[in-house]
Chain A
Amino acid sequence: MKEQTMLWITWVLQLSMLVLALALLIMGEYTWVPASLVSFFITLLPAILKRSARVVLPVWLVLWIVVALFLHSIGGAFGFYDSLHFWDHITHAISASLIAALGFVLVLTIDFFFESIRLPRQFVVFFVLMFGMAVGVFWEVMEFTQDQLVGTNLQYDLDDTMWDLFFDGMASLVVAIFSFFYLKNKSGEEFVRELGMARAKKRINKALEKGRVDEGRSASRL
């Protein structure tokens, strides 16, 4: 798919989320309004990152984030989570694949910036698989803990939990296979350079430096 097409789909989905939140608000269906609005604002984060830190996430990754949040929002708003048995599994699989993709970005960035770390391609692929599933397990533990402590009902039953984990594992496996082929054509270094992480690091360091100078000035005034 062309980048421009992906961008258009991203904008349409973002707009739909905003319209959905407004429609729910007008209809008085307040339950999913906060979730839809929060999801919409999360989809704006890549643009904010680009503007403030000059980090340019790949278009496919941004689209992925938007699709995951869009499906979650409409699933909640239209009651798909209750009426369609497979909806929860679909959203779980897409969210897990997104987490695995973010694990891919994370591990390549670590490999790029830390002198003491050198990760072979096969290890990066293995890491992506492990990261996706591990975050899935932590998520289930977090839901369980919340249910136990606060009395919510985030985890339905064993069957539901195990199928969620199954889809987490499968999605992570698919992303790991994609990462393998992606890194065959492009080096990890090239990928991180395109993200603009080095520029972001410079800007953050500059901001921190400025903060320190300002602190020093106010201390000397005192």
Chain B
Amino acid sequence: MHIVGRIQWRGIFRGRTSRQLAEAIVSWAFGVVLLGSFIIALIYLNAIWVFLGAVALFIYLLPPLRFRDPFRVPPWELALLISLPEMLYVSRGSRTLADLGDVWRDITSLTNSFGLATLGFLIMAEIEMYTSLRTNRAFSGLFVLLFTMSVAGFSMVAVFISDLVNYPDLVTRTFSPSIGTDYDVMMFFLYTAVGGALMGVIYPLYSKYLTSKRILLFGRTKSGEHREECR
């Protein structure tokens, strides 16, 4: 797709192309999905998904809030990527999908881990797009993995402490209501490591695909100008 003419609107739309508008609308649509899923997790008081949703929303909204520009949203494919795990989590409540049986249950149980990995992916893309940071493919891939594992650790600790506060009688040395047993937590970390490693491999490929021309649509920064030189 190439840039189609400029729209003659005022205010925040002034000087934007129809391509920019389309990209931003699709991205915001997934942002709304993310918000909706977060609200559902909040209603059901699912601690892990509330935590994941809050971090995802924070990372998603960081660029538009920081630059006070609704067009500086993460690219729509990234918004889709981070809202996908939340959508899958919400879909657990759907009877039609639950009728699909074990396969659907297995897919949705993997989403926690991949949800975290997608956050690592998004934050690296945002850092590269909106800060003066320059990096190469190997380092960015490594950072995606480290970020994923680190957030997994912090999230489990946060949920465990929240359980200690909320259910002081229920939490024993071997079980916590929201995260289960030590075995459950370790399996979660293992899946997260696999998801993080996968995203760490995919990220450099995506970074290559995200050309300077496309970054321009989301508000190019100084570092964007160096991106091509780094490759």
Q: Is the CB of A158 within 8 A of B134?
A: no
Q: Which residues 110-151 of A have a CB within 8 angstroms of B?
A: 110, 114, 116-120, 123, 127, 129-131, 133-134, 136-138, 140-141, 144
Rounded to whole Å, the gap between the CB of A40 and the closest CB of chain B is 31
Size range of the interface on A?
20 to 34
Rounded to whole Å, the gap between the CB of B9 and the closest CB of chain A is 35
Q: Which 10 A-B pairs have the closest CB atoms?
A: A134-B149, A158-B182, A133-B150, A118-B134, A144-B186, A137-B153, A159-B173, A116-B136, A130-B150, A134-B150
Q: Is the CB of B134 within 8 A of A117?
A: yes
Q: Which of B132, B139, B145, B173 contacts A157 (CB 8 A)?
A: B173
Given A129-B150, A130-B150, A162-B156, the answer on whether A141 and B190 have CB atoms closer than 8 Å is yes
Q: Which residues 178-220 of B have a CB within 8 angstroms of A?
A: 179, 181-182, 185-186, 189-190, 193
Q: Is the CB of B143 within 8 A of A141?
A: no
Rounded to whole Å, the gap between the CB of A92 and the closest CB of chain B is 13
Rounded to whole Å, the gap between the CB of A78 and the closest CB of chain B is 24
What is the 8 Å Cβ interface bit string for chain B, positions 146-163, against chain A (1 contact, 0 not)? 110110111011001100
Given A155-B182, A159-B173, the answer on whether A137 and B152 have CB atoms closer than 8 Å is yes
B143 contacts across to A, CB distance below 8 A: 127, 130
Output the nearest chain A residue to B189 by Cβ-Cβ distance: A141
For the complex, give the distance between the alpha carbons of A146 and B139 in Å.
29
Q: Is the CB of A138 within 8 A of B149?
A: yes
The tally of CB-CB contacts under 8 A between chains A and B is 96
Output the nearest chain B residue to A123 by Cβ-Cβ distance: B133
For the complex, give the distance between the alpha carbons of A168 and B175 in Å.
21
B46 contacts across to A, CB distance below 8 A: none
For the complex, give the distance between the alpha carbons of A67 and B52 in Å.
37
Rounded to whole Å, the gap between the CB of A189 and the closest CB of chain B is 15
Asked if A166 is at the interface of the complex by the 8 Å CB criterion, the answer is yes
Q: Is the CB of B136 within 8 A of A114?
A: yes
Output the nearest chain B residue to A166 by Cβ-Cβ distance: B157
Q: Is the CB of A110 within 8 A of B139?
A: yes
Q: Is the interface of B mostly helix, strand, loop or mixed?
A: helix
Asked if A165 is at the interface of the complex by the 8 Å CB criterion, the answer is yes
Given A110-B139, A123-B133, A137-B150, the answer on whether A166 and B161 have CB atoms closer than 8 Å is yes
Asked if A188 is at the interface of the complex by the 8 Å CB criterion, the answer is no
Q: Which residues 68-116 of B have a CB within 8 angstroms of A?
A: none
Q: Is the CB of A158 within 8 A of B157?
A: no
For the complex, give the distance between the alpha carbons of A215 and B174 in Å.
58
Q: Is the CB of A118 within 8 A of B133?
A: yes
A16 contacts across to B, CB distance below 8 A: none
A123 contacts across to B, CB distance below 8 A: 127, 131, 133
- A to B CB contacts below 8 Å, 16 in the list: A110-B139, A116-B230, A118-B132, A118-B133, A120-B132, A123-B127, A133-B149, A133-B150, A134-B153, A137-B189, A141-B186, A141-B190, A144-B189, A158-B182, A161-B185, A165-B156
Asked if B37 is at the interface of the complex by the 8 Å CB criterion, the answer is no
Asked if B118 is at the interface of the complex by the 8 Å CB criterion, the answer is no
What is the 8 Å Cβ interface bit string for chain A, positions 186-214, against chain B (1 contact, 0 not)? 00000000000000000000000000000
A137 contacts across to B, CB distance below 8 A: 149-150, 152-153, 189
Q: Is the CB of B160 within 8 A of A162?
A: yes
For the complex, give the distance between the alpha carbons of A116 and B133 in Å.
10
Q: Is the CB of A120 within 8 A of B173?
A: no
Asked if B166 is at the interface of the complex by the 8 Å CB criterion, the answer is no
Q: Is the CB of B174 within 8 A of A116?
A: no
Rounded to whole Å, the gap between the CB of A6 and the closest CB of chain B is 30
Q: Which of B147, B176, B181 contacts A130 (CB 8 A)?
A: B147
